[in-house]
């Protein structure tokens, strides 16, 4: 089923994962690997390799500690494709020059193709591409020819006799109109890849793999109701039926009726064995008097782990712990992109208790989020579960700003539900990437009828984002926001003022804590 035909050596670009996704969307299995891998290691680990991509990255090739590549790849006979930093790396290693450009190019640029090549088959001679670079080629390497230019730079090169290509622009972003065609040309005209990466085949192969691995043993899984753990549960359940036991902890920090919905969807529709633990009081108790967000996260993580461990210890026949780890999590920890700065600790409820003595089962660890969703749909999970906005592990614990209490969580649940259900009614839900309400620890004065009120303020937030690293706000019309506000204030006791957050990320983060 899965042969890795393309590897992408990661030099830390924000677009590296996107490149892998683009290739997989074309049904060719690609993996992102650390750029320090030697040619020998690549050859041994990936016997079916058909091509190597060198990703972009924030460094400059002339820096003393610039990331390089094992030069043996250039004699491997495999096609090579350098993107942005990758192009500069190829240029440098073939004795051309790369220097800081006097005119940096960020954003849309005009590409002019100088003469036809396989890489630009079915691509117009003049087109818009997306550039994001400060350095550029100032001297071509002798053994290369220029394939294309932009207004200020050499934009594409090719080795005279080998299949080694480099482009200065980003073919993987949608702003490069013919980017997909260029990637296709590299895969199918240059590397001769075959299309063999399909989700239905993934499922049947994974099911077999899980059966062989688990045999007659038992598996436990922490079900959170989120997409990843749900899809992992459905896949494992398809493979081994009731040898899987899910543990679902109602933390009291979930959305309105969430616990009933999860039990209904998975227990009744999927016949999964689920142990539901009602632990709301334990969480509220542990969070009493705590205001600091990171401390709240740590407490929530710890209480969850303790409860989960207790439950797991009762299941004496369980040898495997299943988790919904997905590919971006794996990439983060194994390549240089994992070194970026932590802004929030993102302690996931559902995380692995370190001291439990289980073998790990992570059936989704090679998949991107959109692939996980496709698997979920093929397995018959309800679309409302698969295409819902992300919900953070600590849940309402970080959306009730400051001290968390049951009373505040109950208020916030109602507010959040009105906001989200009205977005669905107005066909706005799927246009946004993440939407939610937070409850502020502030009371303000209002007037309802003839009475003065003194109640909480809630803030609504809705953003558009691809990777949740950056985000812009959803530009709702005023009428919609007014309708939502009216319903919230009329229907939710305890709230008398609604504000809409118009901060993008950066400088704001998506969550308020
Ligand atoms: P921020 O607030 O950092 O959020 O801009 C980016 C994305 O991460 C989610 N998020 C979390 N998810 N545990 C999680 O599982 C957490 O502690 C956590 N904090 C933020 C947030 O909802 C958004 O999707």
Structure tokens at 132: 């994001």
Q: Which pLDDT score is estimated for 384?
A: 85
Mutate to test the pocket of ligand 1, among 297, 344, 394 (most ligand atoms within 8 A of CB): 344
pLDDT at 106: 83
Dihedral, 317, 321, 324, 330 alpha carbons, nearest 10: -160
CATH 3.40.50.880 range(s) for the chain read 6-190
The DSSP annotation for 487-499 comes to HHHHH-TTEEEEE
- Residue-wise pLDDT tens digits, 427-453: 999 999 999 999 999 999 999 888 999
Distance from C-alpha of 202 to C-alpha of 406, rounded to nearest angstrom? 43
- Is residue 24 within 6 Å of ligand 1 at its C-beta? no
> Does ligand 1 come within 6 angstroms of the Cβ of 461?
no
Distance 143 CA to ligand 1 centre (A): 48
The per-residue DSSP string of 176-228 comes to: STTHHHHHHIIIIIIS-------HHHHHHHHHHHHHHHHTT-EEEEE--SSHH
Residues of the chain with CATH 3.30.300.10: 405-500
Q: Which atom of ligand 1 is nearest to the CA of 436?
A: 22
Q: Which residue has the tokens 């939407």?
A: 435
* The residue count for the chain: 513
Q: What angle do CA 396, 229, 9 make, to 5 degrees?
A: 105
Establish whether residue 510 lines the binding site of ligand 1, counting it when its CB lies within 6 angstroms of any ligand atom.
yes
C-alpha distances in Å from residue 24, one per residue of 19, 129, 221, 364, 494? 9, 21, 28, 15, 49
Provide block-wise average pLDDT over 10 residues at a time, the chain (513 residues): 87 90 95 94 95 94 92 97 97 95 84 95 95 91 97 95 97 91 98 95 96 96 92 96 96 96 86 95 98 97 94 91 89 60 51 71 94 95 90 96 98 98 98 98 94 97 88 96 98 98 94 97
Answer yes or no: is the C-beta of 389 below 6 A from any ligand 1 atom. no
Q: Whose CA is nearest to atom 12 of ligand 1?
A: 392
Q: What is the position in ligand 1's atom list of the atom closest to the CA of 512?
A: 2
Q: Is 392 in the pocket of ligand 1 (CB under 6 A)?
A: yes
Q: Which fold has domain 199-386?
A: Rossmann fold (3.40.50)
Q: From the alpha carbon of 349, which atom of ligand 1 is closest?
A: 15
Provide the pLDDT for residue 339.
Answer: 45
CATH of 6-190, one of 3.40.50.10680, 3.40.50.880, 1.20.20.10, 3.40.1160.10: 3.40.50.880
- Which pLDDT score is estimated for 108? 87
| Atom 10 (ligand 1) nearest CA | 392
Tell me where in the chain the CATH 3.40.50.620 domain(s) lie: 199-386
Least Cα distance to 120 among 77, 160, 179 occurs for 179
Ligand 1 pocket test target in 326, 389, 504, 510 with most atoms within 8 Å of CB: 510
Locate 121 and state its tokens.
């088959």
In angstroms, rounded to a whole number, what is the distance separating the alpha carbons of residues 61 and 88?
7
CA-proximal residue: ligand 1, atom 19 (nearest):
346
CA triple 495-498-500, angle to 5 deg: 150
Q: Closest Cα to atom 18, ligand 1: which residue? A: 346
| pLDDT at residue number 424 | 97
Query: Could you give the residue numbers annotated as active site?
Result: 84, 170, 172
**Residue 296 CB–ligand 1 contact under 6 Å:** no
Out of 3.40.109.10, 3.40.50.150, 2.40.30.260, 3.30.300.10, select the CATH number for domain 405-500: 3.30.300.10
pLDDT digits (tens, 9 = 90+) for 474-503: 999 999 999 999 999 999 999 999 999 999
Confidence (pLDDT) at 218: 95
CA distance 513 to 500: 16
């Amino acid at each position: 089923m899965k042969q890795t035909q393309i590897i992408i050596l990661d030099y830390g670009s924000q677009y590296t994962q996107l490149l892998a996704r683009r290739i997989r969307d074309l049904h060719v299995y690609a993996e992102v690997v650390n750029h320090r891998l030697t040619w020998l290691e690549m050859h041994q680990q990936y016997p079916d390799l058909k091509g190597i991509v060198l990703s972009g990255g924030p460094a400059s090739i002339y820096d003393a500690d610039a990331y390089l590549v094992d030069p043996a790849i250039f004699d491997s006979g495999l096609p090579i494709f350098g993107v942005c930093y990758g192009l500069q790396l190829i240029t440098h290693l073939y004795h051309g020059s790369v220097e800081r450009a006097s005119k940096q190019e960020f954003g849309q640029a005009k590409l002019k193709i100088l003469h036809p090549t396989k890489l630009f088959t079915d691509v117009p001679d003049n087109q818009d591409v997306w550039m994001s670079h400060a350095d550029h080629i100032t001297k071509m390497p002798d053994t290369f020819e220029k394939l294309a230019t932009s207004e200020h730079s050499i934009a594409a090169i090719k080795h005279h006799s080998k299949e080694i290509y480099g482009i200065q622009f980003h073919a993987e972003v949608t702003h490069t109109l013919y980017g997909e065609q260029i990637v296709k040309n590299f895969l199918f005209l240059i590397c001769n890849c075959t299309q063999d990466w399909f989700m239905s085949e993934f499922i049947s192969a994974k099911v077999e793999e899980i059966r062989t691995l688990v045999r007659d043993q038992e598996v436990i899984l922490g079900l959170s109701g989120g997409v990843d753990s749900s899809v992992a549960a459905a896949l494992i359940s398809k493979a081994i039926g009731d040898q899987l036991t899910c543990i679902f902890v109602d933390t009291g920090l979930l959305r309105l009726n969430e616990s009933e919905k999860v039990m209904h969807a998975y227990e009744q529709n999927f016949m999964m064995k689920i142990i539901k633990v009602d632990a709301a009081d334990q969480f509220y108790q542990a969070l009493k008097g705590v205001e600091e967000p990171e401390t709240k996260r740590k407490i929530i993580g710890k209480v969850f782990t303790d409860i989960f461990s207790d439950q797991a210890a009762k299941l004496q026949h369980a040898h495997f712990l299943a988790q919904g780890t997905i590919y971006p999590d794996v990439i983060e920890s194994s390549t240089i992109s994992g070194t970026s700065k932590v802004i929030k600790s993102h302690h996931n409820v559902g995380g692995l208790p370190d001291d439990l003595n289980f073998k790990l089962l992570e059936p989704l660890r090679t998949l991107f989020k959109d692939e996980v969703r496709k698997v979920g749909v093929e397995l018959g999970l309800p679309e409302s579960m698969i295409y819902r906005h992300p919900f953070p592990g600590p849940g309402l614990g970080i959306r009730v700003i400051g001290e968390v209490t049951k009373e505040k969580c109950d208020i916030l649940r109602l507010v959040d539900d009105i906001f989200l259900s009205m977005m669905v009614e107005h066909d706005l839900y799927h246009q946004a990437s993440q939407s939610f309400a937070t409850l502020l620890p502030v009371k303000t004065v209002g007037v309802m009828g003839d009475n003065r009120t003194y109640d909480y303020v809630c803030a609504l937030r809705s953003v558009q984002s691809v990777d949740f690293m950056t985000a812009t706000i959803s530009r709702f019309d005023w009428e919609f926001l007014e309708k939502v506000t009216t319903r919230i204030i009329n229907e939710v006791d305890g709230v008398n003022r609604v504000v809409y957050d118009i901060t993008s990320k950066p400088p704001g983060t998506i969550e308020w804590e």
